[in-house]
Amino acid sequence: MLHIYNTLSRTKEAFKPVHAGEVRMYVCGMTVYDYCHLGHARMLVSFDVVQRWLRASGYAVNYVRNITDIDDKIIRRAVQTGRRMHEVTEFFIDAMHADERALGVARPDHEPRATQYVGEMLDIIGRLRDNGLAYQADDGDVNFSVRGFAGYGKLSGKSLDDLRAGERVAVDTAKRDPLDFVLWKSAKEEEPPETKWQSPYGFGRPGWHIECSAMSKALLDLPLDIHGGGPDLKFPHHENEIAQTEGAFGGNLANVWMHCGPLMVDAEKMSKSLGNFRTIRQTIAQGEAAENEAVYAVNPREAEMLRFFIVRNHYRSPQNYTPDNLVDAQNALDRLYQALQNVAPDQAGIDWQEPQAQAFKAAMDDDFNSSGAVAALFELATQANRDRDARAAGQLRALGGVLGLLQLDPVAYFQSPTRYSAAAMEQGAPAGQLDAARIEALVAERGQAKQARDFARADAIRAELRAAGIELDDKPGGLTQWRRA
Number of Cβ within a 10 Å radius of residue 285: 19
> What is d(CA 166, CA 448) in angstroms, rounded to the nearest whole number?
74
CA 157 to mean position of chain CA atoms: 26
Number of Cβ within a 10 Å radius of residue 262: 20
**Would you call 289 helix, strand, or coil by DSSP?**
coil
Binding residues for ATP: 272
Q: Are 211 and 181 in contact (CB under 8 A)?
A: no
Binding residues for Zn(2+): 28, 212, 237, 241
Binding residues: 28, 212, 237, 241, 272
Q: What angle do CA 255, 256, 261 make, to 5 degrees?
A: 160
Name which of 172, 148, 170 is nearest 160 in CA terms.
148
C-alpha gyration radius of the chain: 26
**DSSP per position, 51-112:** HHHHHHTT-EEEEEE-BB---HHHHHHHHHHT--HHHHHHHHHHHHHHHHHHHTPPPPSB--
Burial class from Cβ neighbours inside 10 Å (0-12, 13-18, 19+) for residue 328 reads middle
Give the pairing of strands 22-27 and 224-229: parallel
Helical spans, DSSP H, in 312-354: 323-342
Residue 323 zone, left/alpha/beta (φ > 0; ψ -120 to 50; rest): alpha
Q: For 357-363, which contacts have Cβ atoms below 8 Å and span 24 or more sequence positions?
A: 357/395, 357/399, 360/399, 360/402
- CB within 8 A of 361, min separation 6: which ones? 352
Number of Cβ within a 10 Å radius of residue 14: 8
**Would you call 37 helix, strand, or coil by DSSP?**
strand
